[in-house]
């Protein structure tokens, strides 16, 4: 984070990170950001509070929607000895919270040729042997902001059940919080990425619908639409994007 002048008025709008604006006076609560005290709106996310406090987030922010895992955060609450984990874009501030962002978690990624690996336990043993240090403490699952059953997919990896690893880790955003808390120092998300690649290479079922769509793309069915989008200016693209049908 790079600091800029902190806001002082109590009538500031809620941060852009919270996706809405309000001129209603905000109730401010005390929190500590990276060791320094601030007062921030009670209804803000951690990311919104950081920006309200006057910090420009230049790292540790991506999608701002809970999908990219870039804003991993550790925090404590008053009178509570536990260390909590969350994503800054999704976790709401609480009075007296002390927090620190972890924009990147160091981890060694195995280098491998997917064609030389088999979708079984031998690939895990060779590329990520630390998996077998797991003591099933479940700390990884408790720290996951996505609510994934991390310990369960680690146990599946120890059995060589690549399909289960893929299924249980599918929504992982690779924030690294499980790695930070793991007493066995396992790199769970990186192992899971390898398992998903193994599944895609060897175990996935063929999809007739996917094959049909790829054939349509290659035949030029959508070329006219692509060219139209490429010729549009930024405003028209933005209008088209926000007018789309979405869930």
Count of domains for the chain? 2
CA atoms within 13 A on the CB side of 175: 34
Tell me: do 47 and 125 sit in the same domain.
no
| Alpha helices (H) in 43-149, listed in sequence order | 46-52, 121-127, 139-143
Q: Which two tokens stand for residue 123?
A: 């690939």
Q: Are 93 and 46 spatial neighbours (Cβ–Cβ below 8 Å)? A: yes
Looking at 187, 203, 219, which one is the last position of a domain?
Answer: 203
Looking at 101, 131, 162, which one is the last position of a domain?
Answer: 101
Return the pLDDT at 25. Answer: 63
Residue 42's alpha-carbon distances to 55, 70, 126, 129, 143, in angstroms, are: 17, 23, 49, 45, 24
Q: Which of 24-38, 85-99, 197-211, 221-235 has the lowest mean pLDDT?
A: 24-38
Q: Determine, yes or no, domain membership for 64.
A: yes
Q: Determine, yes or no, domain membership for 211.
A: no
Looking at 76, 101, 126, which one is the last position of a domain?
Answer: 101
Please check the confidence at residue 15 and state whether its pLDDT lies above 70. Answer: no
Q: Which domain holds residue 124?
A: 114-203
What pLDDT band is residue 10 in, cutting at 50, 70 and 90?
very low
Segment 169-222, tens digit of pLDDT? 999 999 999 999 999 999 999 999 999 999 999 999 888 999 999 999 999 999
Q: Determine, yes or no, domain membership for 245.
A: no
Q: Determine, yes or no, domain membership for 7.
A: yes
């Amino acid at each position: 984070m790079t600091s800029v002048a902190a806001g002082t008025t109590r009538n500031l709008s809620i941060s852009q990170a919270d996706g809405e604006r309000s001129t209603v006076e905000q109730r401010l609560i005390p929190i500590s950001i990276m060791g320094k005290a601030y007062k921030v709106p009670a209804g803000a996310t951690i990311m919104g509070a950081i920006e309200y406090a006057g910090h420009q987030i230049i790292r540790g922010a991506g999608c701002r929607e809970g999908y990219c895992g870039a804003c991993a955060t550790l925090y404590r609450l008053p009178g509570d000895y536990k260390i909590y984990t969350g994503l800054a874009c999704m976790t709401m501030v609480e009075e007296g919270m002390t927090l620190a962002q972890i924009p990147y978690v160091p981890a060694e990624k195995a280098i491998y040729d997917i064609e030389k690996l088999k979708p079984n336990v031998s690939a895990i043993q060779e590329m990520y042997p630390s998996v077998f240090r797991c003591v099933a403490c479940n700390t990884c699952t408790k720290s996951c902001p996505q609510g994934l059953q991390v310990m369960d997919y680690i146990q599946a990896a120890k059995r060589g059940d690549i399909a289960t690893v893929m299924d249980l880790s599918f929504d992982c955003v690779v924030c690294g919080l499980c790695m930070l808390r793991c007493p066995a120092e396992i790199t769970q998300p990186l192992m899971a990425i390898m398992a998903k690649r193994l599944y895609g290479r060897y175990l996935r079922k063929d999809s007739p619908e996917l094959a049909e769509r790829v054939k349509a793309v290659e035949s030029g069915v959508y070329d006219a639409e692509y060219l139209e989008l490429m010729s549009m200016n930024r405003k028209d693209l933005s209008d088209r994007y926000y007018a789309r049908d979405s869930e």
